[in-house]
């Protein structure tokens, strides 16, 4: 047995073994694959302007869209509340995908259950699955709240969550007063940020019903949005505490997604307490850090709670200044010396690296708010965005992005590509190359093809560890962004100047 264990090889080496290479060659022959020369010829054509025009003319096909579906965002919002179990009304395969997606990014277990709908439920409806599923989830996992969302199957056949959950309570699956917020989250509409918004609104409307008081609680609510950088939640708490703001973080999944390894598994870690969430209706106001995953939630808070809302994206120096100024106006407290020191450090670091970034061209893709935040930072550094691609775009985002780009001379080269995918980005990079690309792990295939350096900022990041633990907001976040970008460019310079006596003229020790 020990000898067999010693022979186990990592897949990186395994598939280079002779038996696998022979298998691959046989596969090519059996499938009638084109000759290497023909493959190379077509591959070269796909780099041309001619192919780009055909690529951008396609309508019936999406290739690597750089977005996920609604339920993914819904369950991320759900685990931000104390003792909450996400419940996906749909097939087991869907919830397995969502859990795996988050586990690969955060390197943490992610709990979620499904109603296990199969062919019979697709024909006759999923009421029975809902009744049994809620009963099992409540008795086995003992949550304080179960947050229900849907997948394509349930939406196509028209399952009514409100009616189903009411029937399940009447059947005794869960107590009548047990909170079961629900959101319809069809995967064929919107994206993961839409699902986050729908679920957050559902949770808040459920928990705050009948909790409105005559006076406020003196607090300010903060909503991080579809946030996949745990460091940003910590940075938000740091800034809010330093400014002396009495606050409630809504959908606070920091500890759930970055829990300590203390030898004991806890299914529910941290989260906004249900009591604090219920009392959020009595806050002075609500501030969100992302615009597009909170559209319906902000509208609900303004109309139903009668609260003022505002959005700040504290990416870079100027936007962080504006955020802290707003908090100072709310509290009457001045910005403390601690934060002024952090600001000075960030400005000093940006000054140190400015010469290496000024005038560099960049392409970026990702969610609307992340792209807006990165554009803010890049323009401050004199980086010139060229290709700005957002698959889950909308007219409001594009108008906002164009206004930001127009506010700086460094934004003049940029084009917003809304609704396009990463195969479109490939054509853009080949026909109009840039100095670097910013995006998630899926961009590594673009890097491989185009040789343009990829700087991994966004979600998901599967092929690098621990980047999600850092912050991208605040003054500390600005230093992290600067670090990732400038050092990636230094690595590229070294790779291009590492042949002795040929390219090593600038293989310098000091940068």
Query: Which residues belong to the active site?
Result: 152, 156
Distance (Å) of CA 21 to CA 12, 15, 26, 32, 34: 13, 7, 9, 17, 18
- Cα separation, 397 vs 200, whole angstroms: 21
Which residue, 252, 250, 312, 237, is CA-closest to 281?
A: 250
- Cα separation, 108 vs 381, whole angstroms: 34
Classify the C-alpha dihedral 288-234-329-279 as positive or negative.
positive
Which run of H or of E encompasses 439?
strand 436-439
Side-by-side strand order, sheet with 247-249: 247-249, 220-223, 285-288, 308-311
- Cα separation, 288 vs 330, whole angstroms: 15
- Cα separation, 137 vs 132, whole angstroms: 9
Cβ atoms of 72 and 98 within 8 Å: the answer is yes
For residue 504, count other CB atoms closer than 10 A to its CB.
Answer: 13
For the packed helices 395-406 and 368-380, what is the interaxial angle rounded to 10 degrees?
0
Peptide bond into 466 cis (omega under 30): no
3-state secondary structure of 290: coil
Cβ atoms of 504 and 497 within 8 Å: the answer is yes
């Amino acid at each position: 047995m020990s000898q067999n264990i010693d022979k186990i090889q990592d897949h990186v080496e395994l598939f280079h073994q002779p038996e696998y290479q022979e298998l691959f060659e046989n596969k090519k022959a059996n499938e009638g694959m084109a000759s290497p020369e023909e493959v190379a010829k077509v591959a070269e054509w796909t780099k041309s302007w001619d192919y780009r025009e055909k690529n951008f003319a396609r309508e019936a096909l999406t290739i690597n869209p750089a977005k996920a579906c609604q339920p993914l965002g819904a369950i991320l919002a759900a685990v931000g509340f104390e003792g909450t179990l996400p419940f996906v009304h749909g097939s087991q395969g869907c919830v397995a995908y969502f859990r795996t997606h988050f586990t690969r990014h955060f390197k943490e277990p992610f709990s979620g259950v499904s109603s296990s709908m199969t062919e019979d439920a697709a024909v006759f409806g999923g009421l029975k699955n809902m009744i049994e599923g809620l009963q099992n989830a409540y008795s086995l996992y003992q949550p304080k709240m179960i947050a229900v969302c849907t997948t394509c199957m349930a939406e196509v056949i028209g399952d009514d969550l409100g009616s189903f959950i009411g029937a399940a309570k009447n059947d005794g699956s869960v107590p009548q007063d047990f909170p079961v917020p629900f959101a319809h989250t069809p995967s064929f509409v919107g994206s993961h940020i839409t699902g986050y918004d729908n679920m957050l609104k559902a949770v808040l409307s459920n928990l705050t019903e009948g909790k409105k008081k005559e006076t406020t609680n003196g607090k300010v609510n903060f909503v991080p949005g579809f946030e996949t950088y745990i460091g940003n939640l910590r940075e938000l708490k740091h800034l809010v505490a330093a400014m002396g703001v009495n606050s409630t973080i809504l959908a606070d999944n920091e500890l759930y997604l970055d829990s300590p390894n203390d030898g004991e598994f806890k299914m529910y870690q941290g989260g906004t307490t249900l009591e604090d969430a219920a009392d959020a209706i009595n806050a002075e106001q609500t501030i969100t850090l992302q615009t597009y995953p909170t559209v319906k939630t902000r509208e609900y808070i303004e109309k139903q709670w009668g609260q003022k809302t505002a959005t700040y994206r504290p990416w870079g120096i100027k936007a962080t200044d504006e955020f802290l100024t707003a908090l100072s106006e709310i509290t009457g407290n001045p910005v403390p010396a601690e934060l002024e020191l952090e600001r000075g450090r960030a400005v000093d670091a940006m000054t140190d690296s400015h010469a290496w970034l000024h005038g560099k061209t960049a392409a970026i893709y990702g969610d609307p708010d992340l792209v807006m935040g990165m554009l803010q930072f890049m323009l401050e550094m004199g980086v010139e965005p060229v290709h700005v691609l957002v698959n889950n775009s909308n007219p409001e985002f594009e108008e906002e992005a164009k206004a930001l780009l127009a506010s700086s001379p460094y934004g003049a080269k940029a084009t917003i590509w809304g609704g396009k995918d990463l195969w479109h980005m490939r054509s853009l990079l080949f026909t109009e190359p840039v100095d670097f690309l910013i995006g998630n792990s899926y961009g590594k295939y673009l890097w491989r093809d185009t040789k343009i350096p990829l700087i991994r900022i966004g979600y998901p990041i599967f092929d690098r560890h621990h980047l999600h633990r850092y912050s991208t907001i605040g003054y500390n976040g600005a230093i992290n962004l600067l670090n990732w970008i400038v050092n990636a460019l230094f690595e590229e310079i070294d790779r291009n100047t590492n042949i002795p006596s040929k390219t090593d003229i600038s293989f310098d020790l000091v940068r």
